Structure 1
């Protein structure tokens, strides 16, 4: 009974912290107040201080993770609404996403080699720039550790969302198409949420970029890893 209660509290705690952080972020839109940064940090602190194990917490919180799939599918709605724009810029979007995906995988492999990571960690890092469910599958195929890949994916998404606006200012990226490709290719679902803050079109382009990047990585990651090794 205590385990069930702890699991239920874990679920409500996660939702409560996220909702509170979201309201704070809307009032003070600062990078360091992002709900995707505040929520995990506060949860780690609370679990550490209370002595509640991650397994017990995850009994309830796992249901939030299970909503990731339906949430990804829900991106189809803005895709449908902006279909003509997507059709018009299809070639530019595809070329940019494919180039970005290759660079993400290759740079990850070289970063792992530069940091002298062992083989399992190195392969776990490679699919870090795509959405979690597919990234974990890719990691398993190429010999990585799916759970570690999930951690790298979350870190990439948060950092991409934080750094993205600065990159746009430095390189004067103002177009909705370019913004969407930037966030969707480099920071997957987390970046897509950030892209929607700029405009509906940016978020739409980001969502399709995220999907294309994931499918491309799924098909080419084993080949690229074999080439690099």
Structure 2
């Protein structure tokens, strides 16, 4: 019974807070009110104040995390629906995503060295710019800490969504393709949500870029780690 109560508590608490935060974000669409930011903060406060252990909470919450992996299959939908658009702009999308992915990994390595992070933390930082389920798998393969990688991924997504519009204004990025590549490559799922606020095409290109960035990182991260070491 205690196990069942723990499962229900973790599951319902996470879903309830996220649903409320999402409803608030729809009314007041400010980045600092993003459900990805509000939900973990509120959960941390509730757990620390109520005395509920993380292990007890995670008995239910872990099932939400497990749904991330099969949900990744849904990324194939925008690829199928917008195949002709992808075909027309294949060269710029591939070049832009490849350059962005390599830059993200290299800058992560440089940032880790500058901050004198331990080897496991530095390794966990490398795949920060791709979607969470794939980033966690990449982190495990290259010797990182998947749970820390998930934190870095969320921070990257929120930060990318915050500074992305400013970068577009500064560099006068007005093309829908360029906007999609920018958000999808640099800020994965969170950035894709932001890209859809600009246009459907930007959001679709962002989805495609997010998938491609994950594939590039999956292939390049082990080689990059060998080079850094």
TM-score (norm. length: structure 1):
0.94
- 1:82 corresponds in structure 2 to 82
* Structure 1 counterpart SS, 2:144: coil
- 1:26 corresponds in structure 2 to 26
- 2:226 corresponds in structure 1 to 226
- 1:163 corresponds in structure 2 to 163
Do the aligned residues in 1 keep the contact of 2:124 with 2:146 (CA within 8 Å)? yes
- 1:185 corresponds in structure 2 to 185
In the TM superposition, structure 1's runs of 4+ consecutive aligned residues that sit over 4 Å from their partners are none
Displacement of 1:168: 1.8
Do the aligned residues in 2 keep the contact of 1:96 with 1:181 (CA within 8 Å)? yes
Structure 2 vs 1, CA of residues 218 and 196 (structure 1 numbering), >3 Å: closer, same or farther?
same
Displacement of 1:147: 2.0
1:121-148 alpha-carbon deviations (Å, 9 max, x no partner):
1111111111222222222222222222
Q: Distance in 2 between matches of 1:58 and 1:22?
A: 21
- Structure 2, unmatched stretches of 5+, are none
RMSD over aligned CA atoms reads 1.5
- 1:101 corresponds in structure 2 to 101
Do the aligned residues in 2 keep the contact of 1:177 with 1:201 (CA within 8 Å)? yes
Displacement of 1:8: 0.5
Displacement of 1:112: 0.5
- Which aligned pairs between 1:1-229 and structure 2 lie closer than 5 A? 1-229=1-229
The count of corresponding residues between Structure 1 and Structure 2 is: 229
1:129-175 alpha-carbon deviations (Å, 9 max, x no partner):
11222222222222222222122112112221222222222222222
TM-score (norm. length: structure 2):
0.94
